[in-house]
Amino acid sequence: MQAGDPRQSRFQVRRIRIRADRLECTVCVPCPELRRTTPKIAQEALAMRPSLAHHACINERGRTFRAVLDDTATPHLFEHFVVDCQVRRAHDAHRTFVGTTCWICEREGLALVELSFADDLQALDAVREAAGLMNELLGRCCS
């Protein structure tokens, strides 16, 4: 599942595995310059989804995703976009979604993003939407 032509995509979802308790997404950021966020990318991401600033996030700089948004791996931003998309689709307003992101091979731009879900089809739609947001964002900030 990829948003747009894979030769033109700045962010690609290469593989999705649905487990009983999580989605495993192998993603690729082909361009080395786009593998980390910048303050400009952060500002544009927050303009698209202001709620990202308030996501809980275990990190070395603070309690929220905003604490690291200016300088984090772009697959980590994708993780939070997917969580945000799932929250918007959730039938239960109190439902919590969690995720983790780690590089498989940073040199090749490959990362594993694992995400909880309530409904697998809604989660797949959220992944598709988030990939589109990533490509729009990276295209806008880095063209």
Closest CA relative to residue 1, chosen from 9, 10, 89, 12: 12
> Residue 110 phi/psi, 5° resolution?
-100, 130
Return the H-helix or E-strand segment holding 77.
Answer: helix 74-89
Tokens for 143?
């063209």
pTM of the model: 0.92
Annotated domain spans of the chain: 12-142
**Tens-digit pLDDT profile for the chain (143 aa)?**
444 455 568 999 999 999 999 999 999 999 999 999 999 999 999 999 999 999 999 888 889 999 999 999 999 999 999 999 999 888 777 789 999 999 999 999 999 999 999 999 999 999 999 999 999 999 988 76
Architecture of domain 12-142: 2-Layer Sandwich (3.30)
**How far is Cα 139 from Cα 7, in angstroms, rounded to an integer?**
13
3-state secondary structure of 51: helix
Asked if residue 26 lies in contact with residue 14, where contact means CB atoms within 8 angstroms, the answer is yes
**Which parts of the chain are beta strand (E)?**
12-18, 23-28, 99-105, 110-115
CA 29 – CA 31 distance, rounded (Å): 6
